[in-house]
Structure 1
């Protein structure tokens, strides 16, 4: 992306939905018709990893019942892939329209060729996110030597139209946030500059009509900054508040919890190994944010540039039935929640996400080899190998079929020693010892202190 070489975009919701969005007095960007029955979330994203082992520029989906812990669908493979334009997408966006159906928008870009400039975006229609119809390219502008990055849409009731926000370079040579209006996502009006503070900005994300004020968050100098206006008129937004950041951060997403008064602000790092971070605030008007503990949320494996929309419990069930939940798990450390259980050179350890090969952190929790009431950890990328203890250290060994190996590779899953909503794993043949990490290496030890309890506590997710 020529002017700013690491531009990106996503959406993320942050809490369970049991109250319709309309009752909160706020509409997050992209929220069309508020559905009283909405009780779950769907996320769209594409994937990249450190060495681009998992680079895939199709539309991926994940679901969640709380907006924090995510279940990738279709084994984290794409559910649909563009066949026009660059034949790849970035920055997907899912919105439920006023009629209750969904529309999917995405940047027309395959990979990281930032010199590729497209005046188009990808568009799909869908009634249920299980089938996608009407695939097309939608032209947003006629400007030359620029792009149409990170499209998002919102309903502008005063116009009776949808606004599509996106990033392009203006005549002054820096990125601004543009808007084009549409009623059908087939044609658009002449583009207008929506927000231009005089320097590079991308990734505009709106919360509409929050107590009469509209809030726009955007990427500014690798931070997530805010602006606000009492109208949706292009050019009416002015900056306010304190920017949030975690290193180089981009692609903000604002959402209000549907069960509390908390607002969440999500962003991720702009490098290929993007990591999501979240902040929270009890007062959006204050413009200040507090980091959310990473224990509370887990992004889908290798996900980048997310979009999130609320769905009903029936839609959640139908999506899982259509695409299927993963056949594998990832296991997160309690006291180092940025780290996940993996094998490296056949040694069991916890390392900071992300890393490649990412498959080193994927496990099948199968019935225990020595006792089916327990569990054994089968490696996904080395399926003949299991985590077992040897001289109290955990390593990845080939199952030799012996009873000794089966005993060493079997553990009982219990309530987490540091947090009962998490999990701990007690050794089958050394029942006074639990799996724990020490200097990031896994072993089995007796557990007594609070630090050891934390070392021995894990979350099993995706």
Structure 2
């Protein structure tokens, strides 16, 4: 079971929000992306088993919606979900499928999936559960695809059958009634967490091999049960990986995301390729992607500009930011014991990395960083060391806590922060502690460069 699937101006988005949904024929050229997921963190302070959404305009860097709170939560079964999967149906609307499991009781037998419908991702209606089989086992990590030869959708999921985890499939026209289950993929060893994408005449299935812990890709010219042949080598980053998430990007390239095993590890790793048929994937640098805060085992779909604008308008963007390090991209600016630090994500309390980026306390043209979990406390320098202190409203404090945001010293697409009252010094990390220092070397420029993200 998984423990964990072009920029617009504000004016463009506002205009798009008032448009009608694009017809299916126009959706081939998606303008943005949406991710669905649930959340966990190392000590489970961030655990929430409802449906979470995030959006992205490049498919790499994600912005949570609804303040990273769920947009809908199951009201039947276990009252929680894992592994949500969003599918655009043939009529252009959406269906959401999810594992019926609230928490981490992986020994629970459950034959059902949660299901919702959505017209445009601004509401989720028609909630129901559908029974997929009668086996004394689980129904985990659903994925779905359109089988044109049958004129039906296939719902594929993990279940134990014959003593090991394999993939079963049920076919449906309406996601309300389903056919009897069939074995879909049984390579002779345990498999988990399938994701399926149909591209032209080929159906691709990516999965986790439970024998060796690696991700693999299989393909079929028909998409029919028991017709898939594995064609890639094993893929893994970090110490463990699962929940492959396969996406054909807007530029025609492909991305593969893998969820780390368990909430204590980095949440996602990524690969890319220009040709999925070649079976060769390049590891992505973590500088180049930022998953949603605490996100686990999600799914990604392409969406239109109208759908992007509608989702943002309905659910709202975060009232907080995070600062990601340029040269240690798995680490984020946080406070711990009132000391400013750079620590590897994830960690708890996860709120320690969340900041309200407000007008500078000493100069409104600058910025100050107010702690989300300690309101009224701000990052400030004292003897050039960064710490979190309660605002005492003195001129000295306001000056110490004010910075000018500039183009990143190591990457102009990122940001650096120059001290207001020590104007030759910038916010940087040194031995993972935050300081304000003069910057001259290439390493120091990297230390002083951050991505402002959510």
What TM-score do you get using the length of structure 2 for normalisation? 0.93
Q: Which residue number in structure 1 is paired with residue 324 of structure 2?
A: 332
Map Cα deviations across residues 329-358 of structure 1 (whole Å, 9 max, x no partner). 011000000000000111101000000000
**Superposition map of 1:24-173 within 5 A:** 35-36=27-28, 38-143=30-135, 145-171=136-162, 173=163
Change (3 A) 1:16 1:141: farther
Map Cα deviations across residues 120-151 of structure 1 (whole Å, 9 max, x no partner). 100001111211111100111122x2111011
Q: Which residue number in structure 2 is paired with residue 353 of structure 1?
A: 345
Map Cα deviations across residues 39-74 of structure 1 (whole Å, 9 max, x no partner). 111111111000000111000111111111111111
User: Do the aligned partners of 2:245 and 2:300 also contact (CA within 8 Å) in 1?
Assistant: no
Q: Which runs of 5+ in 2 are unaligned?
A: 9-23
Matched, 1:219 2:208: yes
How many Å separate the matches in 1 of 2:373 and 2:275? Answer: 46
User: Do the aligned partners of 1:33 and 1:97 also contact (CA within 8 Å) in 2?
Assistant: no
Q: Which residue number in structure 2 is paired with residue 176 of structure 1?
A: 166
User: Do the aligned partners of 2:84 and 2:97 also contact (CA within 8 Å) in 1?
Assistant: yes
Paired residue total: 435
How many Å separate the matches in 2 of 1:7 and 1:319? Answer: 27
Matched, 1:409 2:401: yes
Cα deviation, residue 208, structure 1: 1.4
Map Cα deviations across residues 217-247 of structure 1 (whole Å, 9 max, x no partner). 1001321112122111111112222111012
How many Å separate the matches in 2 of 1:270 and 1:333? Answer: 23
Change (3 A) 1:176 1:276: same
What TM-score do you get using the length of structure 1 for normalisation? 0.92
Q: Matched residue of 1:242: which SS?
A: coil
Map Cα deviations across residues 13-64 of structure 1 (whole Å, 9 max, x no partner). xx989xxxxxxxxxxxxxx877145311111111100000011100011111
How many Å separate the matches in 1 of 2:429 and 2:315? Answer: 35
Q: Matched residue of 1:243: which SS?
A: coil
Q: Which residue number in structure 2 is paired with residue 253 of structure 1?
A: 245
Q: Which residue number in structure 2 is paired with residue 24 of structure 1?
A: none
Over 6 Å off, 4+ runs: none
Q: Matched residue of 2:269: which SS?
A: strand
Cα deviation, residue 8, structure 1: 5.2
Cα deviation, residue 282, structure 1: 2.1
CA RMSD of aligned residues (A): 1.5
Matched, 1:203 2:193: yes
Q: Matched residue of 2:32: which SS?
A: strand
Indicate the larger mover: 161-170 or 248-257: 248-257
Indicate the larger mover: 452-461 or 317-326: 317-326
User: Do the aligned partners of 2:202 and 2:223 also contact (CA within 8 Å) in 1?
Assistant: no
Cα deviation, residue 82, structure 1: 0.2
Matched, 1:447 2:436: no
User: Do the aligned partners of 1:33 and 1:98 also contact (CA within 8 Å) in 2?
Assistant: no
